[in-house]
Amino acid sequence: MSEHKHELSEQDHELLQEASFAHREAAHHFNLAAKHHLLAAEADEKDDVTGAAHHAYIAYGHALHATMFAEEAACEEVAADMDDEDHGHPEHTDHKH
C-alpha cells in the first residue's frame, strides 16, 4: 500500500468544509422532522386533528430542507473528488488515505 499523503487544494478544502456544513444541517433538519413526526403521531393518538396536521406540516418542511442539504452535501463531496488531481488513481479511489 502506498504511503502517499494526500494534500487537499484550497478549493477542495473549501468544498469539503461546505459539505461538512451541509451534512450537519441535513442531520439537524432530519432530527427536527423526526421530532415533529413523533409529535404528530402523539396528537393523532389523542384525536387532535389540528395538532397532528400542524406537526405533520412542520415535519414535512424540515424533511424537505434536510433532503436539500443532503443533496448539497453529496454534490460538494463529488465536486471535491472530481477536482482532485489524483482522481482515478488506485491510491485515491480506495479512500484509505
Tens-place pLDDT, residues 8-33: 566 656 656 788 899 999 999 999 99
pTM of the model: 0.67
Domain ranges of the chain: 10-85
Could you tell me the pLDDT band of residue 62, with boundaries at 50, 70 and 90? very high
Pairwise CA distance, residues 36 & 84, whole Å? 40
What secondary structure does DSSP assign to 17-32, as a single string? Answer: HHHHHHHHHHHHHHHH
Please report how the helices 10-45 and 49-83 are oriented relative to each other, as an axis angle in degrees rounded to 10: 160
